[in-house]
Amino acid sequence: MKPYRILLFDADDTLFDFQKAEEQALDKALQMHGFPHDEAIKQDYKKINSELWQAFEKGLIDKEAIKSQRFTRLFQQYQIAYDGTLFNEEYLRYLGEGSDLLPDALAVCARLAEDFDLYLVTNGIAQTQRSRLDRSALKPYIKKMFVSEESGYQKPQKEYFAYVEARIPDFAHDQVLLIGDSLASDMMGGIHAGYDVCWFNPHHKQNKGHLPLTYEIDDLRALFDILYGSEKR
């Protein structure tokens, strides 16, 4: 059993229930204006948003482009005459209220915080992510959150993780485990940074790129076996 000391957790879809937060924020923002809010428009938004975030993770666009384009493109598709950038700001205010956690996230982090230093590493939008953490029961257990927007880089870029490393006391690569749900940003980024990585894969997706993962789990409670082995937990 490797003696880890630092646990780097991705936020959305690893600890936070982003799907629920996104659904609620979309509903509230669309209904506020009397816009369509059926499943079709939500799925179209998610498709556009996913494409933009993938472009961001590849370094092809910046975060401001995501903010300005996602609803602008959606409204063009639905012939809605409203400023997409302004609507994005309204949506983000609602999204910042979404602090629901995934099953067992709180209990797992509360236990692990007794023996490890827990940090969040996220590509999310800074104001939104900080609002969500502040509202969350997780906050007492997280030493610090590192948001890509504040670093000037993003996962999986090595520069982002260098930014993180410089801000964690007594950082040592061989004492780090990164836990996240994204192969492209979390796992690839962690591997390139020289960390052990744990892919949180509750939906049993394929590791199509055959990344050399240290661990793979489908339940956060499986971290106890990785970190404590047969010890009492």
Rounded mean pLDDT of 91-110? 96
- Give the global pTM: 0.91
Residue 153 near residue 159, CB atoms below 8 Å:
yes
Query: Which residues are the active-site residues?
Result: 10
Confidence at 229, pLDDT banded by 50, 70, 90:
confident
Residue 122 near residue 12, CB atoms below 8 Å:
yes
pLDDT above 80 (res 1): no
Amino acid at 107: A
The pLDDT of residue 233 is 43
Of 54-58, 69-73, 195-199, the least confident: 54-58
Residue 74 near residue 84, CB atoms below 8 Å:
yes
Q: How much of the chain, in percent, has pLDDT values that exceed 90? A: 91
The token pair at 211 is 């990344």
How long a stretch of residues is the chain?
233
Q: Render pLDDT for 189-225 as a digit per residue (tens, 0 to 9).
A: 999 999 999 999 999 999 999 999 999 999 999 999 9
All domains of the chain in start order, with CATH: 6-16+101-228 (3.40.50.1000), 19-95 (1.10.150.240)
